Amino acid sequence: MARQTLPVRRTSAQHHAVTGEQAELLRVGTDTLQRADPELAALLDAEVSQQNSTLAMIASASVADPSVLAVGGAALSNVTAEGYPGARYHPGAQQFDAVENLAVERAKSLFGARYANVQPHSCSSANLAVLSALMRPGDTLLGLDLDAGGHLTHGSRASVSGRHYNAVAYGLDEHGYIDFAQVEALAEEHRPQVIIAGASAYPRTVDFARFRAIADGVGAYLLADISHIAGLVAAGLHPSPVDVAHLTTTSTYKQLGGPRGGLILSGRDFEAPGPNGRTPLHKLMQRAVFPQSQGTPSPASIAAKARAFAVAARPAFRETAELIVRDAQALAHELSSLGYRILTGGTDNHMVLIDVSDVGLTGVTAERALERCGILANRNRIPGDTKPPLVTSGLRLGTNILAQRGMRPEQMRECAQLMHTVLAGTRLDSDTEYLIDPALVATVREEVRWLCSRHPLPIDTTASVPVSLIGVGS
């Protein structure tokens, strides 16, 4: 087999100027892909075009800075090293150790945390690691019901969290807000070992302090899952649970704009004892991730997390986060004016939940009709939903990407109008089949393209590391 010389091998004459080796490797990789695998390269290019020309309102999504994507493809990925910095089970991890330390320090700095574990491959893994460290099989877990906006890993029967543990679920009150009276009553009745505060579909501020008071009342640990709102928390636009909950988990690819992955944080209580009354939480968490629930970490993803935390610490990130909330509020207002029922009547975060059964549609038909027109929003079960999970009666919208594209409240009127044109032009044929005029699809698709072309996806080439983070971790 012909062996290509890696670009890192240079002649001695070039050696004095060796920089940018990683960039060269990425360039060679990209060139090779285009030449040697045009089929795959074309799919990836089509994806970029699609992201450029569609109105993505997927509440869990955001756009990663190109530098974050580049770091995710780093040669660091070739390093296999179980364990933690300074205590690896393999040699050759000097750079990786430094990178992981940097990611940990940047995570702590960004969230004001005392402890961070950057190794979880996802927030689901992070949640399962936390639960397995704090609970024995059969112990009781209290989390938000899946149908009320909770996550699978908060005790759903479809997840091991609902099978290995005795999962009890709280829900929402008649206004769509978390029913704290019920949380308290269930906590007192079932005496859970862990209470989870956090949601995948909840448009309002989560009162972590109130959860903590309930947890303290029954001797439970409080886990805050900020997967969806981590960007707002980092920007100071949602109360932070880091010093309120015992442990906080998040995904890094949602509002944080990082790579696929998860993160565990702890603040004030990082040294609080675990269930055995001795081992501090931070030590428990280190073991809970490795070796208890994961093997080798993903070094390039950890590097990309480090990069994303630096991007999220910049003032520009906060400005975008402010716009995300203002846009969501404007979008809720516009849709409400057009006659849609907005769950809870509005939003405090990036998310807008609407009931499409009122306009004679199901969640899945609304999702599909919108997708045909270049508008991406996903179906969602709503409280009291009579439709199955693949059909649903609701639609979940998010403004992360709209705001990242620089769209402002003025443009939310346009977005709401476009959605309304599609939904008002869609007729239900069955729960999952719909009819729509192809001419209407073509018109809206064109308007979506035009709107997107006026608000291109951000490429910020000035995103240097904030002064506050320089030297952190070294």
Ligand X SMILES: *Cc1c(COP(=O)(O)O)cnc(C)c1O
From the list 27-35, 119-127, 309-317, 440-448, the region that binds ligand X by CB under 6 A is 119-127
- Binding of ligand X by 294 (CB under 6 A): no
Closest by CA to 172, choosing from 209, 201, 214, 215, is: 201
Q: Which of 67, 109, 117, 124 binds ligand X (CB under 6 A)?
A: 124
By beta-carbon proximity to ligand X, the closer residue of 198 and 297 is 198
- Hey, what are 47's tokens? 């994806």
- Binding of ligand X by 251 (CB under 6 A): yes
What is the distance between the alpha carbons of residues 474 and 471, in angstroms, rounded to a whole number? 6
What is the distance between the alpha carbons of residues 396 and 449, in angstroms, rounded to a whole number? 22
From the list 6-14, 118-126, 295-303, 395-403, the region that binds ligand X by CB under 6 A is 118-126
By beta-carbon proximity to ligand X, the closer residue of 215 and 416 is 215
Q: Cβ of residue 11: shortest distance to ligand X, in angstroms?
A: 45
Name, in order, each residue with C-beta under 8 angstroms of 32's C-beta and a sequence gap of 6 or more.
none
Q: Is 197 helix (H, G, I), strand (E, B) or coil?
A: strand
Angle, CA 409 vertex, CA 175 and CA 255 arms, to 5°: 70
From the list 79-87, 225-233, 323-331, 388-396, the region that binds ligand X by CB under 6 A is 225-233
- Binding of ligand X by 145 (CB under 6 A): no
Q: Which of 68, 113, 123, 422 binds ligand X (CB under 6 A)?
A: 123
- Binding of ligand X by 255 (CB under 6 A): no
Angle, CA 244 vertex, CA 242 and CA 246 arms, to 5°: 75
Q: Cβ of residue 154: shortest distance to ligand X, in angstroms?
A: 7
Cβ atoms within 10 Å, residue 385: 18
**Are the C-beta atoms of 127 and 162 separated by less than 8 Å?**
no
- Binding of ligand X by 298 (CB under 6 A): no
How many residues sit in the footprint of ligand X (CB under 6 A)?
Answer: 15
Q: Which helix (H) or strand (E) holds 342?
A: strand 341-342
By beta-carbon proximity to ligand X, the closer residue of 126 and 448 is 126
Query: Mask: binding to ligand X, 327-366, rule CB under 6 A, as x and -?
Result: ----------------------------------------
What is the distance between the alpha carbons of residues 162 and 156, in angstroms, rounded to a whole number? 5
**Pairing mode, strands 351-355 and 394-398:** antiparallel
Q: Cβ of residue 450: shortest distance to ligand X, in angstroms?
A: 32
Residue with tokens 């030590």: 283
Q: How much of the chain is in helix, strand and coil states, percent to nearest 5? A: 45, 15, 40
Given its phi and psi angles, is residue 462 left (phi above 0), alpha (psi -120 to 50 degrees) or beta?
A: alpha
- Binding of ligand X by 200 (CB under 6 A): yes
By beta-carbon proximity to ligand X, the closer residue of 60 and 400 is 60
What is the distance between the alpha carbons of residues 40 and 34, in angstroms, rounded to a whole number? 8
What is the CA 357 to chain-centroid distance, rounded?
Answer: 27
From the list 134-142, 198-206, 354-362, 396-404, the region that binds ligand X by CB under 6 A is 198-206
- Binding of ligand X by 153 (CB under 6 A): yes
Q: Which of 54, 60, 67, 101 binds ligand X (CB under 6 A)?
A: 60
- Binding of ligand X by 381 (CB under 6 A): no
- Hey, what are 247's tokens? 């442990």
- Binding of ligand X by 122 (CB under 6 A): yes
Q: Which of 204, 212, 228, 396 binds ligand X (CB under 6 A)?
A: 228
Residue 280 DSSP code: B
By beta-carbon proximity to ligand X, the closer residue of 193 and 200 is 200
What is the distance between the alpha carbons of residues 286 and 294, in angstroms, rounded to a whole number? 11
Q: Cβ of residue 80: shortest distance to ligand X, in angstroms?
A: 23
- Binding of ligand X by 262 (CB under 6 A): yes
Q: Cβ of residue 196: shortest distance to ligand X, in angstroms?
A: 9
Q: Cβ of residue 126: shortest distance to ligand X, in angstroms?
A: 8
By beta-carbon proximity to ligand X, the closer residue of 229 and 418 is 229
Cβ atoms within 10 Å, residue 271: 12
Cβ atoms within 10 Å, residue 463: 18
Residues that bind ligand X (CB under 6 A): 60, 122-124, 127, 151, 153, 198-200, 225, 227-228, 251, 262
